[in-house]
Amino acid sequence: PTLFKRLMELAQTHRLGSHFRHLGLIPYEDVVALIGAAGYLLNPSHFEGWSTTVEEAKSLGTPMLLSDIPLHREQAPESLFFAPDSAEALAQ
């Protein structure tokens, strides 16, 4: 709860608050629709066991921007990757 609050405060500070929308808990069918309609799926994980979100995006043809961790490289080698601890790498 505090992380989300801090992120939203930071977004407001940089006048980016209107670009974020917290959806809360939504039905799975709506999750699939959102992933399918997304321009990109962003997954900035430091660790994944096996990402169902990546699998869902792959099945829907949604392009992905993933943290450069071994599992993401294995799971979605055609994706774009960024260093997980680098905001600069993500921005590029």
Which tens digit of pLDDT belongs to each residue from 12-50? 999 998 988 888 899 999 999 999 999 999 999 999 999
Contacts of 82 (CB under 8 A, 6+ apart): 44, 65, 66, 67, 68, 89, 90, 92
Q: Is 41 helix (H, G, I), strand (E, B) or coil?
A: strand
Domain ranges of the chain: 38-91
Name the amino acid, one letter, at 32: V
Banded pLDDT at 71 (limits 50, 70, 90): very high
Mean pLDDT of the chain: 92
The reported pLDDT for the residue numbered 1 is: 66
Q: Report the alpha-carbon distance of residue 23 to residue 80 in Å, rounded.
A: 26
